[in-house]
Amino acid sequence: MMKKRLITLLAVLFLITACGQGTTAPATKTDTSDNTADTKTEEKIVPAESSLEYCKMILKTLQAKVNTYDRQAKIIQTNIDDTKKKIADLKATTGNEEKILEEQQDLDDLNARLKDAQANLAPAKKELADANTKCSKMAKKADKTLCNEFKADLQERIQQAQSTLAKEEANLANIKRQYDAAKAADKSSEFLASIDEESEKKSLDILKAKNNIDNLGQMTTQLEEYC
C-alpha cells in the first residue's frame, strides 16, 4: 500500500514539474500517425515584397496551386481517418467480413490518392519557394540573369495568350457563320437566340484574352524599365 502511494506521489510530482517547465520551452509534438504521407499544416511562405507586377502574378498563381494540392491532401486524409474508424467499428462485431474488405479496398485507394496528391504538392511548394527567392533578390537589386529569365517567361506567356486569342476569334467567326446559315434557313427565333448567346460568351472570352495580353505587355514594359 505504501509503495502504491509512493508511486502515485512521484507521478504527481513529475506532472507538476513537467507543467512548470512548459513555460520555459515549447513542447515538441511527436507525430505518431501511421500514414505514409505527412499532412501537417505548414506555415505559408511569406511573399516577397516586390513592386514588379510579374512577381505578384507568379507568386499568387503558385500559391494558389500549392493551396489546391494541400486542400486535396487534407480532404483525402480526412476520408482516410473516417474509413479507418469504419473498419475499426466493423471489426468490433462479427459477420462484417465482406464490408470490412470493401472498406479496406477504399482505404487502399485513398492512400494511393494521398500519395499522388502529395507527389504534386512537393514540387509545387518548391516551385513557389524558388520563385519567392528570385523575386526577393530582384526586389533588392536588378539581376541580369533573373531579368532575362523573367522576360523569356513573359514572352512565352504572351505567345500562348496570342495563340489562345486566335483560336477564340476563329471560334467566334465559325459561330457567326452558323448564325447566318441558320437565319438564312429560317430557323426559329429560339434557335437563333441560342447561337447568339454562344456568340456573346465567346466574345467575352476574346475580351479576357485581349486583357491578358495587355497585362502581360505592361509587365514586360515595367520589367524592361526596372532591368
User: What is the structure's pLDDT at 5?
Assistant: 37
Read off the pLDDT of residues 159-191 as tens digits, 9 standing for 90 and up.
999 999 999 999 999 999 999 999 899 889 899
pLDDT at 11 over 50: no
Return the closest-CA partner of residue 138 out of 124, 149, 125: 149
Three-state SS letters, 185-204: CCCCHHHHHHHHHHHHHHHH
The pLDDT value given to residue 65: 94
Q: Where are the domains of the chain?
A: 47-141, 142-227
- The pLDDT score that the predictor gives to residue 95 is 86
pLDDT of residue 46: 58
Q: Which of 175, 171, 180 is nearest to 197 (CA)?
A: 175
What is the reported pLDDT for 49?
67
Q: What is the pLDDT of residues 37-81, one digit of tens each?
A: 444 445 455 555 678 999 999 999 999 999 999 999 999 999 999
By CB neighbour count within 10 A (0-12 exposed, 13-18 middle, 19+ buried), where does 30 fall?
exposed
For residue 84, give the nearest of 107, 118, 111 by alpha carbon: 107
Q: Is 90 exceeded by the pLDDT of residue 217?
A: yes
Asked if 81 and 107 touch (Cβ cutoff 8 Å), the reply is no
If phi > 0 it is left, if psi is from -120 to 50 it is alpha, else beta; for residue 95 that is: left
**Predicted TM-score (pTM) of this structure:** 0.66
Percent of the chain with pLDDT over 90: 70
3-state secondary structure of 141: coil
User: In this structure, are residues 219 and 54 in contact, taking their beta carbons and an 8 Å threshold?
Assistant: yes
Stretch among 28-32, 154-158, 175-179 having the lowest mean pLDDT: 28-32
